[in-house]
Amino acid sequence: MDKLTDRELHALVSLLDDTDKEIKEHVRDRIISFGNDIIPFLEKKWEDSFNPTLQKEIEELVHELQFALLKDRLVQWKNSEDRDLLTGLWILNTYQYPDLEFDKLNGDMHQIYFDVWTAYKNDLQPYDQVRIINNVIFNQLKFSANTKNFHSPGNSMLSNVIASKKGNPITLCSIYLLVSQKLGLPIFGVNLPNLFVLTYKSEENFFYINAFNKGLIFSRSDINNYLEHLKISPKNEFFEPCSNYDIVLRMLRNLVVAYERISDVEKAEEIKELLALIS
């Protein structure tokens, strides 16, 4: 950030509600050039102001700076070697909760993992291992499907789902997946039409898990029946594990639909921008 005195910064920000459009644009560009370092100053200025026009300008500026940071993080994530799932979900989460720290989300996920780990036994058959995970996540910790507000944007925000214990298929599967993989289990996401599920896939065992239905175990023929019911031709991707990148893309698509359903066109367009950025 350029070395401006507090007085100069105050003077600059107070020009945000100038009636001259050209001056206002110049001031906005100057403030944005300071990057995210200026956000705490802007937030303090917003609190101290009694001018609703100025407050609105500050809100828009802060959002613009936070959105630019989110885009940078998302591109870095896409270009990273491992495309860590929790990091990707945290970046999306900061769209609605920009102050959320990765360490907070990581800590919350670690607590869920710890609860499962204390009940878990390595020497069991895969079906029994899955039953233990199901029991802890769905019975003990009370995670469940958010059927009442299925299309709420909050369902795609991991921190929200951890706090409310209610989520959509992909967020519930993500929690299940992160815990399972930390336990060393070969559990992966599967991109089905209209539903996201999991698969347990090793050389000896191959079955599916529906986290939206309390970890219900099902088979390949059940997927065929499901596709037949939807009148959709089977494709390999409907049966095979998908990548962390696919999960984040699907989460973004869900968010577009969620914002469109509540007629928040602006947010839907911003999420489409994020999709385009990493597609």
Cα angle at 258 between 252 and 263, to 5 degrees?
125
Q: Per mean pLDDT, which range of 56-60, 157-161, 251-255 is the poorest?
A: 56-60
Let me know how many helices (H) and strands (E) the chain has, helices first: 12, 6
Q: For residue 2, what pLDDT is reported?
A: 57
pLDDT exceeds 70 at position 46: yes
Amino acid letter at 6? D
Using pLDDT thresholds of 50, 70 and 90, give the confidence band for residue 104. very high
Question: Which residue, chain included where needed, has tokens 């996920």?
Answer: 109
Task: Tally Cβ neighbours within 10 Å of residue 3.
Answer: 5
β-sheet bridge partners, residue 167:
145
* Tens-place pLDDT, residues 202-258: 999 999 999 999 999 999 999 999 999 999 999 999 999 999 999 999 999 999 999
d(Cα 220, Cα 91) in Å, to the nearest integer?
Answer: 33
Amino acid letter at 211? A
Q: Express the helix, strand and coil content of the chain in percent, nearest 5 each.
A: 65, 10, 25
Amino acid letter at 46? W
* Tens-place pLDDT, residues 20-31: 788 888 888 888
Torsion angle, alpha carbons of 252, 258, 263, 268, to 10: 0
β-sheet bridge partners, residue 197:
190
Question: Which residue segments constitute the domains of the chain, with CATH numbers given?
Answer: 6-79 (no CATH), 85-278 (3.10.620)
Quick check: 83 and 245 in contact, CB under 8 A?
A: yes
Query: What is the chain's length?
Result: 279
